[in-house]
Copies of this chain bind each other. A is one copy, B any other.
Amino acid sequence: MPDARFAGLTPLFAPRSVAVLGASSDPTRISGRPLAFMKAQGFQGALYPINPNRAEVQGLKAYPSVADLPETPDVAIVAIAAEIAEKSITELAERGVKAAVMFTAGFAEMDEAGEAAQHRMVAVARKHGMRILGPNCLGVFDARTAYYATFSSSFDSGWPVLGRIGIASQSGAYGTHLYTLARNRGIGASLCIMTGNEADVTVGECIGWLAECPEVDVIAVYAEGIRESPGLIAAFQAARAAKKPIVMQKVGRSELGTKAAKSHTASIAGDDAVTEAVMAEFGVVRARNSEEMLDIAHTATRKIYPARNTLGVITVSGGAGVLMSDVADAVGLPMPEMPEATQKMLRDLVPFCAPRNPVDATAQVSNDVKLIHTFTEAMVKEGGYASVLGFFSMTASSRRWPGIREQVNKVREAYPDRLYVLSVITTDERRAELEADGWCVHEDPTRAVTAIAAMGRFGAAFAAPAGAAPPIVSPVTLPATTSSEAEAKRLLAAAGIQSAPEQACDSAEAAVAAAELFGFPVVMKILSPDIVHKSEIGGVLLNVGDVAAVHDGYDLLLARGKRAAPTARIEGVLVAKQLQGGVECILGIHRDPVFGPIAMFGLGGIFVEVMKDVVFRRCPFGDDVAEEMIRSIKGAPLLLGARGRPKADIKALAHMLARLSAFAHAAGPRLASIDLNPVIAMPEGHGAFAVDAVVEVG
């Protein structure tokens, strides 16, 4: 079922009629280019230049104003000075125009006055149901329909190659760069949308529209910072439901990059790790650069997305085989060995071949083209690989190639459900032939492996069962301000999040009784709503081992508390069971300004602070996702019984993490953060317990 929010963008991205405000007679000027492009390429809809000074623009009848148009156009291109743009937006909205593409710059990216003007324009547009792309944007084009609401200079050097990739980019210059690279490589991308300031239409909504566009199979995205969550999430969901892969380049990964992003646009360069977690949640693959993005997008147009990807490599160079194995390993793409019997069969045919996988067919095989068929078929049929990569280097430039091509094509045709990729050095003509046959062709074998791995990640996401439902927690009523540890623990306990057994004690005798109840050793902490950072004032005693030590400890903590904070209300001492033999973890929540509450999981202390070995996920989620998160960190072996350690109670830990995510979700926007640090994951069957808890209310 199409999402109304995305369907509403059709007048913007696929209009039947286009007005151009400030249309110029000079086809090289920014305000002249859209008409020039659309005329040159044969746009079939109505074109209405608006220019009060001319009766005709580029051979088309011109109109003095929006009011004079004979019909209400679907979209208006606004290519006029900032000073008069605001007035025009009002006229367009009042006329009932459904969408505007604003090239005009000088708004939020410039100064506060510009930002205010931008807000006013959006308010007017929303009142009348008009959508705005931009301002300060390079617009949109669809080469299929010759709709060119853009002034990109890239068409000086050629028109787009038609094809089923759709591009959505926040940056105009980089979007054009990307599309031009695609065109120069002969990769078909008919649609390209560049969002600029995103005063109204966001990159997320553009992705959503592309996900529902029947002419698009694959979506390539360039983003600097995500401004709103609902559009992006709905778009990711729509694309996954339609089994359309999204490959995304997200910049601002580093601190340096984030600084540069801030000086560049008025973008919220949101926390990169959070955006990456949201991408991972929906199987969106992150590309490191434009080449990788195009490699992946182009390979994806074959529409083969193995749910369980495996790679079989056939090579004429053992060295290249090793290289491809290295990359497959690095990107987590399995390369199972060929069946023993098949290996033997191949060795019987070619004594010096290496038939394991990579299958080194040796140069001998490329001399006998029938053997190439035997080898390749054995890999597909007996090896059962979902993806087959042939490294033939320059063989594809040789005289023998037509015969080889015929043999490998026979296999491809017999088993059309596999992904077939070639790494060859050849001419543009031969490459085009092979692409037409149904192969993906890459010059570099490592780039081929990376693209193949991405197909498996798409396939896994498309095939994934719906995750378990998040745990149901009671409605959460947050306190007015950041609470004491005890209050935090009570709140969390109501959501089913267990703390270590503990007891508030208002005398040394009560403390001794509690310790005897729990068993020694115990932990003792000063209990005061006015002392938040207890460790810093010496307010925590660990490993308190006997009755006398508890007695002395009580007095010591009270004395330390009074010395450190003479006016603090001191309610006594908290006595807790000291948990032994468990693994220290950290569970946390922080509120992302765009995506709301985000859960974090990591191992205790150093692993989070120094090694940055953590995983993030949008709240809420179920136990299965929580367990996946726990297993995904590099230090997971510590919880899974590395080096003869006892296995930790992963199930209990996952359940706590899922409950925490549900709690955070239910708590609403006043919740700023939660820190459960540490949580002790006890050995299997013995649960997981929060030892300290802070719930921060914003």
Q: Which residues of A come within 8 Å of B, CB atoms?
A: 105, 109-110, 153-154, 156-157, 169-174, 176-177, 180-181, 184, 222, 224, 249, 251-261, 263-265, 288-291, 316-323, 325-330, 335, 352, 354, 356, 358, 360, 363, 393-394, 397-399, 425, 443-447, 606, 609-611, 613, 634-635, 637-638, 642-643
- Residues in B neighbouring A290, C-beta threshold 8 A: 444, 446
- Majority SS of interface residues in chain A? helix
Do A157 and B397 touch across chains, with their CB atoms under 8 A apart? yes
A134 to chain B, nearest CB (A): 15
What are 20 sample pairs from A and B whose C-beta atoms fall under 8 A apart? A105-B352, A171-B318, A171-B319, A173-B316, A173-B320, A173-B363, A174-B319, A174-B393, A181-B425, A224-B319, A251-B326, A254-B326, A254-B328, A254-B329, A257-B329, A259-B325, A260-B325, A260-B354, A263-B354, A610-B642
A289 B251 Cβ-Cβ under 8 A: no
Cβ–Cβ < 8 Å partners of A363 in chain B: 173
Q: Considering the chains assembled together, what is the distance between the CA atoms of A100 and B627 in angstroms?
A: 62
Which of A169, A173, A174 is most buried by chain B, counting CB atoms within 10 A of its CB? A173
| Least Cβ–Cβ distance between A303 and chain B, in angstroms | 27
Checking B259, B394, B610 against A180 with a beta-carbon cut-off of 8 angstroms, the contacting residue is B394
Given contacts A157-B397, A317-B171, A425-B184, contact A260 B610 (CB under 8 A): no
Residues of B within 8 A of A252 (CB): 322, 326
CA distance A358 to B264 in the complex (A): 9
Select from chain B the residue with minimum beta-carbon distance to A355: B263
Measured CA separation A668–B606 after assembly (Å): 38
Name the residue on B nearest A313 (C-beta).
B260
Q: Does the CB pair B330–A254 fall under 8 Å?
A: yes
The residue in chain B whose Cβ has the minimal distance to the Cβ of A397 is B157
Residues A322 and B610 in contact, CB atoms below 8 Å apart? no
Given A173-B319, A319-B222, A443-B181, the answer on whether A360 and B394 have CB atoms closer than 8 Å is: no
Which residues of B are found within 8 Å of A609, using beta-carbon distances? 637, 642-643
Query: Which of B170, B256, B265, B613 makes the CB contact (< 8 A) with A325?
Result: B256
Nearest-neighbour CB distance to chain B for A49, whole angstroms, equals 24
- Closest chain-B Cβ to A642's Cβ sits at a distance in Å of 6
Contact A177 B325 (CB under 8 A): no
A249 CB contacts on chain B under 8 angstroms = 323
Cβ of A317 and Cβ of B394 under 8 Å apart? no
Q: Are A637 and B610 in contact (CB under 8 A)?
A: yes
Q: Quick one: closest B residue to A110, CB to CB?
A: B352
Q: How far is the CB of A675 from chain B (nearest CB, A)?
A: 15
B residues near A322, Cβ cutoff 8 Å? 224, 251-252, 257-258, 260-261, 264
Give 5 closest A-B pairs by Cβ, nearest first: A264-B318, A171-B319, A173-B317, A254-B329, A257-B326
Tell me whether A174 and B354 are in contact in the complex, defined as CB-CB below 8 angstroms, given that A360-B264, A634-B611 are known contacts. no
Please state if A177 and B393 are interface contacts (CB–CB under 8 Å): yes
Chain B, Cβ-Cβ closest to A613: B611
Complex contact B323–A174 (CB within 8 A): yes
Q: How far is the CB of A305 from chain B (nearest CB, A)?
A: 23
With a cutoff of 8 Å between Cβ atoms, the chain B residues found around residue A156 in the complex are 394, 397-399
Whether B638 pairs with A264 at a CB distance below 8 angstroms is no
The answer to whether A356 touches B638 (Cβ under 8 A) is no
Q: Determine whether the beta carbon of B317 is less than 8 Å from that of A174.
A: yes
Contacts of A444 in B (CB 8 A): 289-291
Q: In the complex, given contacts A174-B320, A254-B326, A290-B446, what are 7 additional A-B residue pairs having Cβ atoms less than 8 angstroms apart?
A: A174-B323, A180-B425, A253-B330, A263-B318, A263-B360, A611-B634, A611-B635
Q: Which residue of B lies closest to A261 (CB)?
A: B322
What is the distance, in angstroms, from A573's C-beta to the closest C-beta of chain B? 25
Do B328 and A256 touch (CB < 8 A)?
Answer: yes
Q: How far is the CA of A244 from the CA of B326 in the complex (A)?
A: 28
Is A260 a contact of B330 with CB atoms below 8 Å?
Answer: no
